[in-house]
Amino acid sequence: MRTVIFHHHLFKNAGTSVDAALRRAYGDRWTPLEADGGELDAGRLVRLLQSRPNLVAVSSHTYRLPLPNVTGIRFIPIVFLRHPLDRVRSAYEFERRQEADTEGARMAKQLDFAGYVAARLTRPGDRSIRNFQTMKLSTIRSPQDGSPVDEFLSALDTFCTLPFVGLVENFEHSIHVYEQLISAALEPVELPIFAENVGRSATHTLGERVTAAQDMLGPDLSRRFAAENEFDERLYQLARRAHYRG
């Protein structure tokens, strides 16, 4: 049975640090794989694995779980979740300093944090800061396929199938757990700890960062953001309980 590590790289969920660890550990046996536009389909992932039998690790921003059932291949999924507001503040900082002409980068450079959040929440269909993590774990692909509750329940099903869910705030511990899972299935491995693409506010504690972000948004926008990210918060709290129950 072939074992393949699949890193489901969620934007601003420590994915660049995970990729750096996989690249260091596996060299050319790791590869990124992205869709040219839209989502990466399972067929392309399967074809890649069939054409490169030496690969043991793949990372993708654009693949949507669940992973395909492939005869002879067992996947070890790597997924990290993050406090929704902490994630959005990090995304804002990243897009503000990013040398790119994307719409998000332009918004971040032109607006303060509250303006950025308000603008994104006002845009119909903009999921970048609206239950983004729920969307990425769900098999619901459009509003026509199911309600927001259906999307959450689908994401919850995916969450429950994962052997472990990492937390950005508990990154080092999460990496060590993934080391153990990978070592048991493949070969002993040490995943180095990197801090890539980290914003300036990351030096503060999670509680300090969230409080500062709420202060910048103000009470009304904070409540609106929380309501729009209710399901991300639920998934995040489930992951927290698994990490800190002992």
Token pair belonging to 39 = 């989502």
Closest CA to 79 of 227, 147, 181, 187: 181
pTM of the model: 0.94
Q: Where are the beta strands (DSSP E) in 17-79?
A: 30-32, 57-60, 73-78
Closest CA to 195 of 172, 179, 165, 178: 172
Angle between helices 113-122 and 103-110 (to 10 degrees): 140
Question: Is there a contact between 47 and 116 (Cβ–Cβ < 8 Å)?
Answer: no
CATH 3.30.70 for domain 2-244: no
pLDDT at 194: 80
Q: Report pLDDT digits (tens) over 136-184.
A: 999 998 888 899 999 999 999 999 999 999 999 999 999 999 999 999 9
Distance CA 56, CA 30 (A): 6
Q: Report pLDDT digits (tens) over 50-63.
A: 999 999 999 999 99
Q: Report pLDDT digits (tens) over 14-61.
A: 999 999 999 999 999 999 999 988 899 999 999 999 999 999 999 999
**What SS3 state is found at 16?**
helix
β-bridge mates for residue 73, sequence order: 2
Q: Which helix (H) or strand (E) holds 140?
A: none
Using 50, 70 and 90 to split pLDDT, how confident is the model at 228?
A: very high
Token pair belonging to 45 = 């992932």
Q: How many CB atoms lie within 10 A of CB 154?
A: 21
Side-chain half-sphere of 69: how many Cα atoms within 13 Å? 0
Distance CA 23, CA 168 (A): 19
Q: What average pLDDT does the structure give for the chain? A: 94
Amino acid making up residue 77: P
Angle between helices 230-244 and 148-161 (to 10 degrees): 20
Token pair belonging to 223 = 């409540």
Domain boundaries along the sequence of the chain: 2-244
Distance CA 169, CA 166 (A): 9
